[in-house]
Structure formats: C-alpha cells, structure tokens
Structure 1
C-alpha cells in the first residue's frame, strides 16, 4: 500500500509546518505584505534622496597624488648640503640627495621604499619614489595637475663606505616608519571632536558611588563616583583626581540603563555621537557598572555557618541576594532618570528588553543581543554593540534555508559609506522572532539562501546610487528570497515526488512480479484452460504424465526416439512424500 504524502512521516505538510512553526499563516501573510510596502518605500526615498549622476559619498581617502613641501626657501637647507652627500633631515622629514651637482630635497612621504645590497667592494642604496600610476603599488591613473610633468621613479647610489650606507638605510627606514605611524594616528583621530566644557554644580552634586568605568582608566582598578553637573556627568578616580571622564550631554546619543536581572552587573551606558579618548583608547561607548553579586560568605570558614544546619543559611543568602539586586536596580534606575532630567529633555533612558533577546556573534563570541525602543544593543561584554534603528536602510537575512541550524543577519545603513554590520550564527529557532521584531519597528527585512558579496554591492551603490534605485533598488534581495523559497519548495516537492515515484515503482514492480509468477504458473499448466486451475494445483500422476510427454516431445524433435509408450513405462516413478 502506498502512503499518501500528507501522512508520510517526512511529508511536505509536516516539513512546511515545522518551518513555519511559531508564526501563523495570517501573521506571515501580513508580515510579507508589510515588508513589500517597506521595500517600496525605501526605493521611493532613495529616488528622492539622490539625483542622477550623484555619488553617495565623497570619499576623503580617495587615492590621489599629493604635494609635500620640505623647505619653503633655499636658505632653510642644512649648511652641510654643499658637501653633496646624502643627508637625512629628521626635523624637515626629508632626505637630501645629490643629483647632477645639486642638493635636491625629497619629502619622506614621496619615498615608496628603500633597499640596500652589497656587490663586491661596493654597497648599493636604491630609493624608489611614489609616482603617478604606481601609488601604493597599484597601477592606477592617479590624477596630477601637470600631465606633462616628469617624475623620477628611482635613484641608486654606490659607495665603498658600507658603514655609512647602513646608517643611511636605517635612518631612512626609521623615518618612514615614524611618518607612517603619524599618518595612521591622524586618520584614527580625525573624527574626534573637542567636547563642550563641563559646567560644574556649585552645590553638592548628586553622586552614584562605588562604580567602575569601562573602558578602564590607566592604573589600578579602583571604583569611583559618578556625579551629575549642569551640562553633563563626571567620573573621578579617588586615587588620582587628574584621571577623570567628562561626558557632556551634547555629545550623548543614547542613554541606557540595564538591570542586573539575569546578569552579573548593573550598568548605565552612554553611547556618544563623536568618539573620545579614554587613556590611549578611542571609544564611542562609556559605561559605569557595579557587580550585582558579592562573594562575602565562605562555604567552609564563615562564622555564620558554624551555628546553622540544613538549608536555612542558603535560603537566607538567596533572599539577601534578591534584596541586594532589587536595591541595585532601584538605585541605578533612579540615577539614570535623574541624568535624563538634568539633560532637560535631550536624553531619554532606554532599557533593553531581555525577553526579545537572541544570541548572535557580532564580533568574536556569541552574546545576547537585546532590542530596546530605539536600538539593538549588547552592553554586557566588550566590545559593545549599539545599532540605532533609525539609521538602518535595510536588514538582510542570509543562509535562511531548511536544514541549517543558524542564519546570519546583515545591517545595511542609510549612510552607504559605512560598511554593513554582520551578526552571524543566530539560531534558526529565533528566525520568526527576529523577523517579527524588525517588522514591528518598520525595518525592511529580506532573506536569502546564500551569503552575498556586500563589498561589491556597496561599491555599486556608491558609484551611482540613483541608477541603483532606478533599476529597482533593494527589490533584487526580495527576488532572491522568493526565488530561494520557491526553489526550496520545488526541491522539497521534488524530493517528496521522487519518494512517491519510488514507492509507485516498487508497487508496480511488485504487481509485475506477481503477474510474472502467475504467468509462469499458467505456462506450466498447459493442459489447463484457465489460470484458476493452476492456482488450485494438480495431482502427482498428472504431473508425471505431463513430464513424460515433454521428454518424449523433446526426443522426437531431436530424432532420438520413436515415440513408443514403453519408454514411458521404463521411466522411474517419482516417489511421493506426504
């Protein structure tokens, strides 16, 4: 009997039901329709946001040939240049090379690399320069204001003074390293702005004592006090008053309070608009926390345990910890609300919803990501994660297909100059919850079965954003998702269809084999006119006579016998056994 597909243990109905578990069909239909509207809205906003021929961003770091000035006047050259020797001027960040009886200065930023080699009695020093067409080792057409200008690609010098050549090589290499580090630091600190000066309260300010800062200040880890002033807050170390952290309200983008329910710490977190330097670190997230559990009762040597027996002390400890956590939550929540009140409406306290949280890997380890009213945050373990929902252009879910235990999530920001944020290894059991949460905050969500090359996608968008939205915008992600789901359904259907075909083939083969057996039985009973007689069976005398007839006919065909019936009597009788 062939089982119907709806009743098979691996049937399509059960598989599709397992895939959509937790989400009703009507809810899924409404979510899909709402997402179509959101994607179309994003496309309309993109067309209105960009004009034809506009670029999404003006990349300040775009490669170009820059000019560097070593000396403004000839009189500023060192006095020893008349010797026409190679010189290294650390103050001017330049090297002076003798070329055709002239002392020619070159800024260190124009030096691409330097090499030294020994051949016989001579030591060769080769200096390669940065020229248009070979910037950073890439053969690109770097623009220059004078197309007909002539550039020196490299120069080589040889000398029998190997020690002097070694000293020049080391000096030039060290100067290049220092210049590269200075340039990297300049780019790193380019987005740091000068904050407003903190206006201190003349009266006694409200203070939250015994809190630890993150990132930590230099030196010993000691708790300090967080005080509220007129236009910001200040944290000061009790050991070194010069070590303090000032956070003006004008530079705070989000203010979070996270209780210690299910956590080991209770904290107040500031997400800044512009990064600041804390010690030697640049950061946009500063938090102040206090540990929720204090290990003050020793299980073996504490006096309180000597006079108690049973579980009374453990019950009391649990009750004491609950009271302490409740008091900590109340204290930190009250202080965060006072910070919001002091900001005169510029800040609102945002609290993570732990019930809506889901696990994922935004950087190195799997952490609990918790939605808030305006953000998606991870504030427990550094590096912290704060994603502002209003800055999201679209969210794409990758590796969403049947059989995988996890999927990836990609945040694409409205500022296309920002690289998309990837959160990987989210359990598939959280898929419906993540989609419903993003849909509830009006964030466009698409999904696909494979990982996309977001570097190439963002480059295409940045090159011509108007053309991108004119050709459909983010609809290609929806197309991939629908195609993937259709392909998955068809693949599932084909799998089930193949199972059914195999079952049909098995049943067909079985019926054919039965017919074959019936035909052989009918053939063996040539004397019977109907197949029913063969099924009923014949007695042994009939079988013996039939066998004798077949043997006689075969011998007649071969011409071995005359067909006398005496031969039939000479044949040994078949012994019948009951």
Structure 2
C-alpha cells in the first residue's frame, strides 16, 4: 500500500490549520466552499505542502469538507455549503489519492470551547484509540464499534453513544469506501493483515449553552490505519497530524473584557456595527437554513417511505413475469425453424452448371456440394462476401450460428453449418451472385420485420365521422410523416365522434382513436419554432410502414431558415422591427388557434362523451425544465403532470412516470459539470432510458421534482452497467429480495439499512466504490509483499521517506518567518533583475558597434 497517499492527505491539514487560524484571528468573512476550493488548489501542487510527490499521480478523493455554525454532516459524502465560516466548532475532512490509493483524515477545531466540550473531545479521542487497537489480525470488524461504545461509557460519557453514526469507519484501498468492510455491529468479517481502514469516530446533534443560548455542535476525528501481522497494534498512517486537545483548541476571547463590549468609547463604532451586522446576518442565514433543513428532512422521510413500496411493486412484477414464463407462450412472427426452401426435390429448379444460383421466387440460394445442388433459405444466411485473388474469386457464405440462433434452442443436439467457401475463375459471376444474395436478404428481412410488427398491432376500431359540428386544426404538419416522393404539404387535423383524423391534400389519412390515447400534450411556442399537439398512444399504429407510438401535429410559427442578404442592417432598421413584429403576431395567432382547439376538444368532446378515459391535454412546466441529451442531441426536457417529455426534437421523448420504478442519478459529485439520469421502468424486461449531460445546476430541481412525483431516486458517482444489473434481478428475484431490493443502489447506506442521516449525500459518494460485493472484496487480495513493494517504489519515486516528511512537518515555519523569507526573496530577485538588465544593455552596445554574430543571428 502506498504511503504517499497518506502523506499527501496528512500534509493538507496543517495548511488548513494555518489558514483557519489566520481567518479567525483577522475575523475574515470566508465561505465554506471558498475555503474548500483553496485547500483543493494547494493539494494540486505538492510543492506547496512540502511533500516530494509526483503531481501527475496526486488527486483528491473528494472535495475537502469544511463545516461550522451548527450545521454538520459527518459523512464523507457531505459537501461544503456557501455559508460563512463561524468561529465555534469547525470540522474539516480531507481525502487524497496517490497512484489510485486512497487516504482520509478528519479533524475538529474548537474556538473558545467550554469544559463540557473538552471532556467530550478527550473521551472521543480515547474511544478512537481503542477502536484502532481493536483492529488486529483475526478480530471481527464489529469489534471496533463495540470498543468505541465501551470506551465512552468508561469515560462517563455514555450520553455520546446515542449520537454515534451507524459505523465508525470502513475499509479502503483502491476503492475509497469498501461497502462490505464497514466497522459496524453485526459485521463478522475478519480483519486481515495488510488491510487499511479509515477509523472515523464522530458524534453529532450535541448541544451546549454558551452565553445562555443553546448551540448545536459535532465532533469528528478520523485517521487512516493499516493492520499489522501477528496481532500487533495497527499503525496510524496519519499520526503526523496532531489531534491532541492542545493542538485543536483555540482561545481568542478575553472573558474578562466581555462586559466592556457595549461601551462605545473603548472601540471604534465600526467594530461594534460589524459585530451587530454579523449577528443579524447569521440569524437570517440560520432561518434560511432551517427552512432548507426542513425540506431536506421531509424529502428524506419521503424517500425512506418510498423504498418499501418500490421493493414490493418490483417483487410483484418479477413474480408475475415468472408465472407467465412458466406457463410459456408462442412468439409472434415466423420462426426460422419453420422456414422451408423447397417442399420436395421436384420443386427445385433444374440447373445446367454446378455453380451458385439464387432463386428469387423461393428466396433460396443453391450451392454445389459434392456434385449436388443443396438449397439454403436466405434467412439462414448471415452474410456473403467476395474476395478477388488474381484471376480467381472466393465466395464466402456465413450462416447464422450460435446460442442466439432460434433453431439452436429448438434442436440442441443438431450440428449446424457455420460457413462455406467457394473458389471460381468467373469473377463477374462471383460479383453478381454476392450482390443478388445481399439484395434478396435485405428485402426478405425488411418484409419479415414489417410482418412481425403488424402481427403485434392491436386492431383499432373504425373511425365514426362526426355528423354535427367538427373541430379542425388547419395547416399543420405531422410527425412521423407519410414518406413518399414529392413536396411535403400541410394537412388538417379533424376531431370526429370517436377519434382524430389527419388528412393531407394528397389523400393520405391517419386515424387516432380517443380510446387509444394514453397521454395528450399541448406545447405553445414560447422559445421554440413550433407550436404542437402530441399524442402518446397505448397501442402502436403503423405510419408509413413503421410502427410508432407517438404522433404529433405541429405548425411553424416562423421560418427556421432565413436568407441573409449582403447588406448590413442597423439596430433600429424599420424593416427589421416590422419583421419582428410580424413574427410576434404570427406566434400569438398560431398559439391562440391551437389553444382554442385544445380547449374545445377537452370540454366539448372528452369531458362530455369520454369522461371514463380521464383524457386531458397536459402542458409542460417550463420552470421545472432542464437541458439534457435523451437521444443524440441536447434538448430542453420538461415535466408535465404525469410525464417527462421533450417534444420539439425528433424523435420525441415521452416517459410516463407511473411506469417508472426508480431513477438513478449518476456521475453526481466530484465537482463535475454534468450528471446523468437513468430511468428504470417497473417492467424490468425493458431497457432503461438515459438522459445524459444534465447540468449540475439542475440537480436540486430534479431532486425536488422526483420527490414531488413520489419517485424513489438514488445518486451515484459512476455509470452502472444496467443490462447486467437488470438481468441479474430478473434471473434471481429471491436474491434481489434477500439483498434488500433496490437498496443496493444506496451505496452510502449500511448494506440495505435505511440511513437516518441526510438522503442528499447517501448515494453520492459510494459511486466511487462499487454497487456489488466485488468491489469490496478486491482489497482482500492484497498481500503483505505487494504492500511493501508499493511502499518502496513510491518512496523511491518521491525521493524521500516518511521520516523526512515528518521532519518537514515539525520544522514548519510560522507566518512571520514566511513573511520575512518572502521579503528577502523579493530583494534578491530585484538585485538579480538589475544585473540581468545591465548585462543585456552591454550586449546590445557590443552588438551595435561590432555587428558581430549575435546581431546577424537576430536579423536572420
């Protein structure tokens, strides 16, 4: 295991400590997020933290976490918010990677603490030490948690036990957090030599009265330790960063001078106004965060309630699918095993030459084998190739073969032909035969696909034309279009007794039955070029020989292509202003026509005659929309009452939220600009639907919308292989139920147990780990010899040792020494600059008078 990772993590803490002292002493107003960014920048340059490491191998394990002011989250998935640093109890957590090996450290700094906080902190240190000592070779991992509880009770701090998290650390290595190596009660996995653990003992939700007012605070101490062989005491790799009470407690307040604060004459009014304003601002910020905390709490409770319901629904669907599979059923369409080239030998055509022939009528290929023409149906041939070799050509026929081939499952004991190769001297015949085989295969495959699609179509009722008043939407286009040649023309959408009919001047018609409409949408043109109505169908219909489940009628409110003349228009060009006015009037006119049509259909047709269908035109909520890539291009995706839609780009995106089981937000965190959304349907046989590259600024909007829709969602840091995940769930529903259902996605959770802390950080961090036991087990394969070799190589690369790093830590300079050193460097640099300038001026005089080689070289 590389010790360089621990050196890099440990070396950051003094940097933060120095910054922290300076900020508190000068009463600077610094945000948590800003301080986190400054620490992260220091880590990017190893020279700044006085560690001899290769910068290319150094990276952060997570963004540094800085917390204060009564709002604390002890999990490593927490994030530094935008609140200002307060001078009470300050928590800082740092993680680093070196050559992909991880390390973690956390410290608590207390400003003007009271006696109660001192006693609790010292008890916490003792508890962490006992937990570290419990991690000996062969001991169960649950021993660490038991040791912490006993140590707190022995120190007469038993009230801290109920404030402990569910675990006191986890295993780490190449993966930051190994889910199966949690230091929690009930984990009976044995500790092995060479294992590395992050032992983090913390308590939250504590209160203390200071100045007669209760204040909330938390305490946290975390170190990285390695287990030694033979039952020896584990080694604390981050021990170079001190954590004793004298090193983390700071006293800035003069308690005797406190009563003099209200006296105006003792200090300028500026200081008193700053203190008052600071208190006022903090109160307003606390009120804001109380509201945010309440929203987070409600969201967390909602998500916890949803987990049980989602698991039950998924299990019910899985068992139903199992029953259907056991009953069996016949697939739609013609099976390859049912295909016959010729019923008898007499049906085969007579040929004069023993050469490859293509029978277009019977859709077969005849090949000569041992002087006999043997037929093969075109559906059995995968492809055909022709390779020229001088005066000869080689024809190669590849047949469908393998476990995915349908006859292979029907006749498992049969022997199948994989390929045939023929050599011919007639190269033109070879080219013609291969071309005929390709064309025939393409035509037959397309016909089979169309027949299979039509076989799955549901018979629709016949359209009953309206005898009375008929509502019409004129001059609209349709998507998907009817195809064919010629210029595309607009048509009109008519509302009849039991359905819509779209008709074009060419006589093309398309009927959409009301009872086949699952969702209907109306989207006015605001920031788009078109105004549209869209129908998402229950059963697909055929449009231009293609099966589709979405039909859209739209009108263009302005020309999407404009001709640019060579002249330049002025900002106040009357023609341009008039053109913009016409476009605005055209947009308003078309929006009004569509709105009237939608309102009349809703009130006079659907509500009056088809109330049992509960049909309603849904309008997307633009304020809840976000950008993403649902298919191939970026689009603006918006929620509606029941769906998530994107209707402007083609193909349209319509996701019915009642059919959604869970949503997994991937690539969340690590300061990434984008994240991905994976929608998993209740029907697990369907592929998941992905929306990629969603801006991170929309993350809170997506979370709130999913919670309002009662959709269970998780957050991860990596993309999962969903084909394998769904396949394992469908193949083994019992294992899925035994493992806690969908809780395996909660990678920050405790093996399926619901977290009692904030939902916001739970899945976010564990994505750096694994969604299965494979990740956690990977670190168990490390041997002692491998660890030692890694240590040696990394120490050699860094040209230093752990002892040297510790000496550098002890010899760190204070701010006054650093300032004097900076001034001395500036003076030396000034002198060297003057010498350089004098040298250059002499060279110029010499080159100008002599015209030597330097002058010629510069001219050249």
Question: When the two structures are superposed, what TM-score results if normalisation uses the length of structure 1?
Answer: 0.70
Give the equivalent residue in structure 2 for 1:18.
82
Give the equivalent residue in structure 1 for 2:610.
344
Give the equivalent residue in structure 1 for 2:699.
431
| CA distance in structure 2 between the aligned counterparts of 1:224 and 1:511, rounded to whole angstroms | 79
Question: Does the residue aligned with 2:341 lie in a helix, a strand or coil?
Answer: coil
Which residue of the other structure, out of 701, 717, 741, is the alignment partner of 1:473?
A: 741
Check the 8 A contact 2:385/2:434 in 1, yes or no.
yes
Give the equivalent residue in structure 1 for 2:802.
none
Which residue of the other structure, out of 241, 253, 269, is the alignment partner of 2:534?
A: 269
List per-residue Cα deviations over 1:158-195 (Å, max 9, x = no partner). Answer: 55555555544443344334334444545565644443
Give the equivalent residue in structure 2 for 1:235.
502
Q: Which deviates more from structure 2 when the two are superposed, residues 331-340 or residues 117-126?
A: 117-126
| CA distance in structure 2 between the aligned counterparts of 1:263 and 1:104, rounded to whole angstroms | 61
Which residue of the other structure, out of 744, 749, 762, is the alignment partner of 1:482?
A: 762
Are residues 326 and 459 of structure 1, via their aligned partners in 2, closer, same or farther at CA, if it must alter by over 3 Å?
Answer: closer
Kindly indicate whether residue 284 of structure 2 is the aligned counterpart of residue 284 of structure 1: no
Check the 8 A contact 1:56/1:465 in 2, yes or no.
no
Question: Does the residue aligned with 1:50 lie in a helix, a strand or coil?
Answer: helix
Which residue of the other structure, out of 92, 97, 107, is the alignment partner of 2:377?
A: 107
List per-residue Cα deviations over 1:398-427 (Å, max 9, x = no partner). Answer: 111152222211111111122111112222
Kindly indicate whether residue 681 of structure 2 is the aligned counterpart of residue 413 of structure 1: yes
Give 1:479 shift: 2.4
Check the 8 A contact 1:56/1:464 in 2, yes or no.
no
Give the equivalent residue in structure 1 for 2:628.
360
List per-residue Cα deviations over 1:368-395 (Å, max 9, x = no partner). Answer: 2221111111122322111101000100
Check the 8 A contact 2:659/2:682 in 1, yes or no.
yes
| CA distance in structure 2 between the aligned counterparts of 1:53 and 1:249, rounded to whole angstroms | 30
Which residue of the other structure, out of 334, 342, 357, is the alignment partner of 1:71?
A: 342
Give 1:485 shift: 3.9
Give 1:40 shift: 2.0
Give 1:344 shift: 0.8
Check the 8 A contact 1:116/1:123 in 2, yes or no.
yes
Check the 8 A contact 2:646/2:653 in 1, yes or no.
yes
Give the equivalent residue in structure 1 for 2:665.
397
| CA distance in structure 1 between the aligned counterparts of 2:416 and 2:630, rounded to whole angstroms | 47
List per-residue Cα deviations over 1:338-362 (Å, max 9, x = no partner). Answer: 4534661222222222222222221
Give the equivalent residue in structure 1 for 2:653.
385
| CA distance in structure 2 between the aligned counterparts of 1:323 and 1:104, rounded to whole angstroms | 70
Give the equivalent residue in structure 2 for 1:93.
363
Check the 8 A contact 1:232/1:343 in 2, yes or no.
no
| CA distance in structure 2 between the aligned counterparts of 1:286 and 1:173, rounded to whole angstroms | 34
Check the 8 A contact 1:53/1:464 in 2, yes or no.
no
Give the equivalent residue in structure 2 for 1:494.
none
Kindly indicate whether residue 143 of structure 2 is the aligned counterpart of residue 143 of structure 1: no
Check the 8 A contact 2:747/2:765 in 1, yes or no.
no
Q: Which deviates more from structure 2 when the two are superposed, residues 322-331 or residues 270-279?
A: 322-331
Give the equivalent residue in structure 2 for 1:303.
none
Check the 8 A contact 1:230/1:342 in 2, yes or no.
no
Give the equivalent residue in structure 1 for 2:814.
510
| CA distance in structure 1 between the aligned counterparts of 2:817 and 2:597, rounded to whole angstroms | 81
Question: RMSD over aligned Cα, in angstroms?
Answer: 4.5
List per-residue Cα deviations over 1:529-568 (Å, max 9, x = no partner). Answer: xxxxxxxxxxxxxxxxxxxxxxxxxxxxxxxxxxxxxxxx
Q: How does 1:309-320 map to 2 (within 5 A)?
A: none
List per-residue Cα deviations over 1:218-264 (Å, max 9, x = no partner). Answer: 44343332211111011212x32x21221111221111122334444
| CA distance in structure 1 between the aligned counterparts of 2:399 and 2:493, rounded to whole angstroms | 53
List per-residue Cα deviations over 1:452-507 (Å, max 9, x = no partner). Answer: 2222212222322342233222101112462644899xxxxxxxxxxxx99x9699
List per-residue Cα deviations over 1:179-213 (Å, max 9, x = no partner). Answer: 34444545565644443221112334222223332
Question: Does the residue aligned with 1:216 lie in a helix, a strand or coil?
Answer: coil
Give 1:114 shift: 4.1
Check the 8 A contact 1:116/1:124 in 2, yes or no.
yes
Are residues 309 and 357 of structure 1, via their aligned partners in 2, closer, same or farther at CA, if it must alter by over 3 Å?
Answer: closer
Question: Does the residue aligned with 2:726 lie in a helix, a strand or coil?
Answer: helix
Check the 8 A contact 2:472/2:492 in 1, yes or no.
yes
Check the 8 A contact 1:53/1:466 in 2, yes or no.
no
Q: Which deviates more from structure 2 when the two are superposed, residues 282-291 or residues 16-25?
A: 16-25
Are residues 7 and 189 of structure 1, via their aligned partners in 2, closer, same or farther at CA, if it must alter by over 3 Å?
Answer: farther
List per-residue Cα deviations over 1:115-151 (Å, max 9, x = no partner). Answer: 55677877655545445x4767xxx99434362x455
Are residues 95 and 267 of structure 1, via their aligned partners in 2, closer, same or farther at CA, if it must alter by over 3 Å?
Answer: closer
Give the equivalent residue in structure 2 for 1:225.
492
Give 1:323 shift: 6.1
Are residues 171 and 469 of structure 1, via their aligned partners in 2, closer, same or farther at CA, if it must alter by over 3 Å?
Answer: same
Which residue of the other structure, out of 399, 415, 422, is the alignment partner of 2:690?
A: 422
Which residue of the other structure, out of 430, 442, 445, is the alignment partner of 2:710?
A: 442
Question: When the two structures are superposed, what TM-score results if normalisation uses the length of structure 2?
Answer: 0.49
Question: Does the residue aligned with 1:143 lie in a helix, a strand or coil?
Answer: helix
User: Any gaps of 5 or more consecutive residues in structure 2?
Assistant: 1-17, 36-65, 69-78, 84-284, 566-572, 749-760, 769-804, 819-860
